[in-house]
Structure 1
C-alpha cells in the first residue's frame, strides 16, 4: 500500500523528541511537510526529510493535502489547527490537552465526524508498559474493587524541556490557558479513567502558582476525585518537583495494593493481603530526560492503516479534559464541582 503522507504542525520539543522521530521510524509513513512560525525550525526538518517547510498551516494544508497531521502547537491553537486539518480532509493527532474548553473540544470532534476523518489525542500514559501491565492485572479481577488511589505527575517544569526554555509559551497564559494541569494533570485524569474503567463525577481542587515567577500559569495542583463507582482518590500535578520527579500511581484495592512507577527497577509491584508479592519489570516510563518511544505515533498510524477508529479518541480526550476544567472551577468557586453528563 502507499505510504501515509504526514505533516507536522509545530516543530517544538514534543515534535522534535516524539512525533518526528517516531513517524520517521514508522515504515508506513512519509513525512511531507513541516510547519512552524519560526521558519528555520520547519526548514531544518524539511531539509532532513526531503519535505516542504511552511510558516502558515492553512497554506500548508491546501497546498500539500496531507493524509494526516500532528498538531504540536500551544494549547490555545489545538482546536483551530485540528479543525482546519479535519476540514482539509486530514486525520488528526493532537497533543494534550486536546483543547482549552469543552466547546472547542466538541467542535473538534464534530469537524472530524463531518469530514469522515479520525481524531486522536496524544495521551501516551495509556500506552506506557507499566500502565499496560497494571491494567492487565486489574482486569484479572484478583485485586477486587479499587477503593482509593493516588496518582501524581511532577517534574521541574517546562523550562528544561521546551525548545524556548523559560521563554516558552507554556508560561504565557494567553497561549497556554492552563499550566501544570494542562501539561501533566490531564495525563493523570486520562490514566485513572482508563485504568479504573470509571468516570470522574466530582472534583475538589487547590490549583495555584506557588513558585514559578513571572507567570500566571498554575505550577501546582492537588485534587480530590470521586469516581462514578464511589472510589475516591487524589490527583497531583506539579512543575516544582525540582528533585524527586514523580509519575507514579498507587491503587488500594479490596485484596491488596498495586504500585505503579514507585520503583525504578520493578515498575509494577503487587502487594496482596495474603502476604504474597509480585514484581514486574516491564520497561520504564518515558521521561523528559529519557525518551523511550511514546507509542502514540505507532498507535495513530496503526489506526489509519487498519481503518480502525483510535482508542484514544476525541471523546476520550474530552472526558479527561473535563476533569481538569472542573478542577479550575473548584479552585475559583471554592466548591466541589460535579462533572455534567457523567
Structure 2
C-alpha cells in the first residue's frame, strides 16, 4: 500500500531530483505538483504522470497527500514547511532549512507539536563514497582526523535554474539570502558534521561577489565566493571554499588528513575514494560518480525519507541537523562581514 506525495515548487530541484526519485519509488502512487506558475506544475504533472494543484491550499488540504517535498526558494522554506506540517503532512525540506535561526526553530517546534516527520535534504550524506568514508574514519584505521579541506564549486546556478538566465532567484538577496553559502556551502558543512561526528564551533572567512552579474549587468546582491577557516568542538581544524565561479569543471572534493594517512573523497575523477597510508601506499576505491549539475543520478534522499515513513522510523537528517548547518553558515557570513572570528551560536 503506497502513498501520494506533493511537491511545492516546480523548479530544477523538483524536476531533476524529487519528482524522478518519487516516481521511481514503488511506495509512491501519485505525485501532486504545485507552483506559483501553474504551467510549471502542469508540465511536471504531465511528465511524471501526476496531477497539478492550482493553489497551495488545494494541495495541503488534499487528504490523499501524506507527505510534501518543499522545493520552493529559500525565503519560503519556513512558511511552506510549517503550513504543510500543520496540515498533517510529513515534510522533506530542501536545504538550507531556512534563512534565519528563529525560522528554523519554529519549523522544529511545529514538527514536535504536530508529531509529523521533518527531514532536510542534505543529500551528500547519502553518496556511497561519503558513507564509505565515514566507515573508514569511524573504524579508526587512519587514527584521529587532524585537519581537513573541503570545496564545492561549479559555474553557477544560472545554468542550473529553471529559467537559465541571470535573473535567477539565487542571485536575489531577498530570496536566496545566503548566496553560494546557502546553495553549496551548507552541503559541505553538513557533510563535515556527518563525517567527523562533530560540530563546527568557530569560523573566520572572506567572501565577495567577485564575478556574477544580474540581469541588469550589475554585481549580484549575494556572495558568489566564500573561503573560510573552521574549527570543531573536538579541535579539528580545516578550510572550506564554496564558489559559483569554478568555470569549466565542478569540484566537490573533501580531503581528511589523519594521524595515519590521508583520505581523499571525490578528488580523482576515476577513483571516488583514495586512501594514502603514512608510508605513501595508496588504496583506491572505484565506487560511483558523484552527482553534478550535468550528471543527475538518484540521490538516495527521497528513498530514505520514504523508508522512514513506511516503517515509522526516525528520519536520517533531522531538523536539528539542518539548524546546526544553518548556524554555521550564518556565522561564516557574519565573520566575513565583520572581519572577525565568530563563535557559532
1:304-323 pair list within 5 angstroms: 304-323=309-328
How far the C-alpha of 1:64 sits from its partner, in A, is 4.7
- Whether the aligned pair in 2 keeps the contact of 1:129 and 1:284 (CA below 8 Å) is no
Instruction: State the distance in 1 between where 2:46 and 2:314 align.
Output: 33
Question: In structure 1, what is the equivalent of residue 182 of structure 2?
Answer: 182
Consecutive aligned runs of 4 or more in structure 1 exceeding 6 Å deviation: none
Match of 2:284 among 243, 265, 279: 279
Instruction: State the distance in 2 between where 1:51 and 1:129 align.
Output: 30
- Whether the aligned pair in 2 keeps the contact of 1:248 and 1:260 (CA below 8 Å) is yes
Task: Provide closer, same or farther for how the CA distance between residues 272 and 167 of structure 1 changes in structure 2, counting only shifts above 3 A.
Answer: same
Query: Which stretches in structure 2 are left out of the alignment for 5+ residues?
Result: 215-219
Instruction: State the distance in 1 between where 2:159 and 2:46 align.
Output: 26
**CA deviation profile, 1:66-87 (whole Å, cap 9, x unmatched):** 2000000100001100000000
How many equivalent residue pairs?
339
Instruction: State the distance in 1 between where 2:105 and 2:122 align.
Output: 17
- Calculate the TM-score normalised by the size of structure 1: 0.97
Instruction: State the distance in 1 between where 2:123 and 2:59 align.
Output: 27
**CA deviation profile, 1:138-176 (whole Å, cap 9, x unmatched):** 111011111110000000000111111222111111111
**CA deviation profile, 1:92-144 (whole Å, cap 9, x unmatched):** 00100010011101111111111111000000000011111111111110111
How far the C-alpha of 1:201 sits from its partner, in A, is 0.6
**CA deviation profile, 1:218-255 (whole Å, cap 9, x unmatched):** 10000100001111000111000012320000011010
Instruction: State the distance in 1 between where 2:258 and 2:47 align.
Output: 50
CA RMSD of aligned residues (A): 1.2
How far the C-alpha of 1:5 sits from its partner, in A, is 1.4
2:65 match: secondary structure: coil
Query: Which stretches in structure 1 are left out of the alignment for 5+ residues?
Result: none
- 2:78 is the alignment partner of 1:73: no
- Whether the aligned pair in 2 keeps the contact of 1:250 and 1:259 (CA below 8 Å) is yes
- Whether the aligned pair in 1 keeps the contact of 2:22 and 2:31 (CA below 8 Å) is no
- Whether the aligned pair in 2 keeps the contact of 1:83 and 1:108 (CA below 8 Å) is yes
- Whether the aligned pair in 2 keeps the contact of 1:224 and 1:235 (CA below 8 Å) is yes
- Whether the aligned pair in 1 keeps the contact of 2:15 and 2:44 (CA below 8 Å) is no
Question: In structure 1, what is the equivalent of residue 30 of structure 2?
Answer: 31
- Calculate the TM-score normalised by the size of structure 2: 0.96
- 2:171 is the alignment partner of 1:171: yes
Instruction: State the distance in 2 between where 1:50 and 1:229 align.
Output: 49
Question: In structure 2, what is the equivalent of residue 233 of structure 1?
Answer: 238
After superposing the two structures, state which structure 1 stretch, 161-170 or 225-234, moved more.
Answer: 161-170
Instruction: State the distance in 2 between where 1:259 and 1:80 align.
Output: 39
How far the C-alpha of 1:56 sits from its partner, in A, is 2.7
- Whether the aligned pair in 2 keeps the contact of 1:33 and 1:64 (CA below 8 Å) is no
How far the C-alpha of 1:54 sits from its partner, in A, is 2.5
Question: In structure 1, what is the equivalent of residue 57 of structure 2?
Answer: 58
Instruction: State the distance in 1 between where 2:101 and 2:322 align.
Output: 10
Instruction: State the distance in 2 between where 1:317 and 1:27 align.
Output: 28
Task: Provide closer, same or farther for how the CA distance between residues 31 and 217 of structure 1 changes in structure 2, counting only shifts above 3 A.
Answer: farther
- Whether the aligned pair in 1 keeps the contact of 2:270 and 2:286 (CA below 8 Å) is yes
Question: In structure 1, what is the equivalent of residue 217 of structure 2?
Answer: none
